[in-house]
A = this chain, B = another copy of it.
Amino acid sequence: MDSTLLDKSRSLFIRRWGEMGASWGVSRTMAEIHALLFISNQPLCTDDLMEVLQISRGNASMNLRQLVTWGLIERVHRRGDRKEYFVAESDVWRMFETITRERRRREIEPIIETIGKCREMLKEELKGVKDERRKDIKEFQRRLDDMRDFFTVVNSLFNLVVKVGESRVADVIKVLAKFER
C-alpha cells in the first residue's frame, strides 16, 4: 500500500536508482531489481520482484540472470523450498569493484587497444609521406597519446579505490584534501 515512510523511501530509492542506471547504459528494470535487492534485508524470490516492480516473469528472469553474470547478485537456496532466492552484494565497495572490473574489461580495454592499433598505423604511415600530411598525422598522434595517458591514469585511480576500500575512506579524503588548491 506504500503508506509507511519505510515503504516510501524504498520506492523513492528504487525509482532513482533505476533512472540513474538508465542514463549509464543499464536498463531501468535491471537497475530497479538491483536496487530492490540491495536495500532488502533478506533474500527475495522472483515473485517478490514481480509484485513490487510490476514486471513479468520473463523479464524478471532475464534481468536476474544478467545481474548474476555481472556478479552483482547471487542465487540463494532455502532448505525445503523449491523457489530460488536472490541477494545483492551489500558491500558498496565490492559492488564498485565488480562494476568497474566489468566495465573496464568491456569498454575501456577495447578503446585502449584501438588507440594502440591506431598509433601503430600512424607510425607506419609517417615513414613515407609528404610534408603537408605529416602535420596532420603528428597532430592525430599527439591526441591519441594524450588520450592513452589519460586512460592510464584513470585506470590507476580505479585500482586505488578498489584496493583502499571502505575502511580507510576518512584517511583518503584527508590526504586528497591536501592536494586541493
Query: Does A82 sit at the interface, judged by CB under 8 A?
Result: no
Residues from chain B with Cβ under 8 Å of A13 in the complex: 114-115, 118, 144
Q: Which residue of B lies closest to A124 (CB)?
A: B5
Q: A122-B5, A152-B173 are in contact. Are A143 and B24 (CB under 8 A)?
A: no
How many copies altogether? 2
Q: Which one of A52-60, A62-70, A71-79, A155-163 contacts B? A: A155-163
A157 close to B139 (CB less than 8 A)? no
Residues from chain B with Cβ under 8 Å of A1 in the complex: none
Q: Which residue of B lies closest to A172 (CB)?
A: B179
Give Cα A136 to B20, complex, Å: 25
A residues adjacent to B (C-beta < 8 A): 4-6, 8-10, 12-13, 16-17, 19-20, 22-25, 38-39, 41, 90-93, 96, 106-107, 110-111, 114-115, 117-118, 121-122, 124-125, 133, 135-137, 139-140, 143-144, 146-147, 149-150, 152-154, 156-157, 159-161, 163-166, 168-173, 175-177, 179-181
